[in-house]
Amino acid sequence: MESVLLINCMTVAAVSFIVIAYRFWMVKKETRKLPSGTMGFPLIGETLEFMFYSYTTHPEAFMTKRRLKYGKVFKSHLFGNKTIVSTDAEINKFIMQGDMTVLVPDYPKSIKELMGESSILFTHGSLHKKVHGLIGSFLKSPGLKSQVTADMQHYIQMSMSCWKDDQIIPIQDASKEVIYKILVKGLVGMEAGKYMDLLRLHFHQFIAGLVSLPFKIPGSTFYKSLQASLIFQPLGSAGCSSPSLGIYAKKKLVQLMKSIIGERRRMRKNEKNMVPSPVKDMIDAFINDGSDELTDDHVVSNLINLMIPGNDSVPALIALVVKNLSESPLALRQIEEENMQLKKTKTDVGMKLVWRDYASLSFTQDVITESLRMGNIVTSVIRKAMTDIEIKGHFIPKGWSVMAYIRTVHYDDDFYEDPYKFNPWRWQNQKKDMGRFSPFGGGQRLCPGVEFARLEASIYIHHLITSFSWVAQEDMHVSWPTPRMRKGMPVKIKRKI
């Protein structure tokens, strides 16, 4: 019996040794060329620490700490994925411009589940090129810019006409109201009203879930947001203000947009022997393509994608501009003089401002650029390695995520003198190299709405500066779940005489 037990023990010990040796060899084989770093805790990796720093005024501190310890490129485990993180400008540029068959888009599981495979975030090849081109062409069109300029001027004047002296206005929230109306009209042709309000009712919950931890635990942000894409009650079941609507954001968007798309397709079918109607919104731009590749699911997913900047990115940019100007009297004085001069020039000749006027405000554009650098509306770009690759001597195994972290580069003193200082004058001589300045990503997946976002911000800032003076209230910039001012950038305003 003892000999049998001894043999069994020896067998177990031998098998255990072989398993341990094999696992050690496999780990050593996989990691012998990997950048230095740590994988953090089981399952969650270093995600919680990353999120913690994102709630502070210096979210890049997570990266800076590891950059000092391991170098500009290091390994980590974020959002459920083994990840190689780059804070190197040259490598980031390669990641954004690289072969799209080798480095494919990769995002946290929550984003994948909520946005769907039809989203431009996950399509590639000819379909991605087609969708990206259609969106870019529409958003850059002079006709849309003219429409947006007129509409924004109207909505801004309506909004600001209600403001009273010494009132506290959260600029981020106030501008969001205007930008959202512009986007919904530009995307689906919908005017302000109760259905637009319904679309927005639970949209904030949907957005919060996009970058949450992908755990389907009842009560969690991700769980609630996932329900937003699954649960639906018929439109009109209750009044707009009723909390019992139970209509969740994404499903409302999908249902309503599909009905609009269906109607537009029927109209286009009836116009076969007639002069086609002009393109008036993004739905028209998609369905006028006439391609069988673009299904209704593709159209809806990408319309929702384009709505996200209206909820977060552009209003956050406007709030950042106000914050930075509030802390720089010299910059505020110069941008005020530039905008007041434009207003006076147009008023003297009895002409309204057009989109080219706003684009001509050079110092205003420098202020926006510097706010983009410091605010980092897009903090990172994530790809997945489809094969083993090596970049500047750094090994990236097949199946690993690759994060090009942009914010750290934007604060790199190798590229920017005194990087934590708001200095819009630096852009009078600074080149906008993609590796060093990438506020909207880069390469084939550069955000197609870059010019559109700048125009919206320029128009809002112009009307704010030429109509009001303000005193900024206490607030701070955070980067989670999306870059924004935590309190909405409240200011005490006074109307200019």
Q: Which pLDDT tens digit goes with each residue over 183-208?
A: 888 888 877 666 677 666 656 656 65
Residue extents of the structural domains in the chain: 125-383+392-495
CA distances to 260, 270, 358, 393, 473 from 496, in Å: 43, 53, 20, 59, 19
Share of the chain above pLDDT 70, in %: 77
Q: Which two tokens stand for residue 483?
A: 């870059």
Q: What is the rounded CA–CA span in Å between residue 14 and residue 421?
A: 62
User: Per the annotation, where are the binding residues for heme?
Assistant: 447
User: Per the annotation, where are the binding residues?
Assistant: 447
Do the beta carbons of residue 135 and residue 304 sit within 8 Å? no
Higher pLDDT, 360 or 43: 360
pLDDT at residue number 445? 76
Closest CA to 466 of 157, 230, 68: 157
pLDDT at residue number 18? 38
Q: Which two tokens stand for residue 231?
A: 């649960």
pLDDT at residue number 55? 84
Closest CA to 180 of 198, 161, 168: 198
- DSSP codes joined into one string, 263-277: HHHHHHHHTTTSPPP
CATH superfamily, domain at 125-383+392-495 = Cytochrome P450 (1.10.630.10)
Higher pLDDT, 327 or 279: 327
pLDDT at residue number 201? 64
DSSP-based helix, strand, coil % in the chain, nearest 5:
55, 10, 35
Our CA angle for 31, 33, 36, nearest 5°, is 70
Q: Which two tokens stand for residue 88?
A: 């190197």
Give the DSSP letter of residue 294. S
pLDDT band at 49 (very low <50, low <70, confident <90, very high): very high
Q: Which two tokens stand for residue 248?
A: 């969740």
CA distances to 191, 402, 404, 443 from 98, in Å: 41, 12, 12, 8
Q: What is the rounded CA–CA span in Å between residue 397 and residue 31?
A: 9
Q: What is the rounded CA–CA span in Å between residue 222 and residue 290?
A: 36
Least confident stretch, 42-51, 121-130, 334-343: 121-130
Q: Which two tokens stand for residue 486?
A: 């935590």
pLDDT band at 229 (very low <50, low <70, confident <90, very high): very low
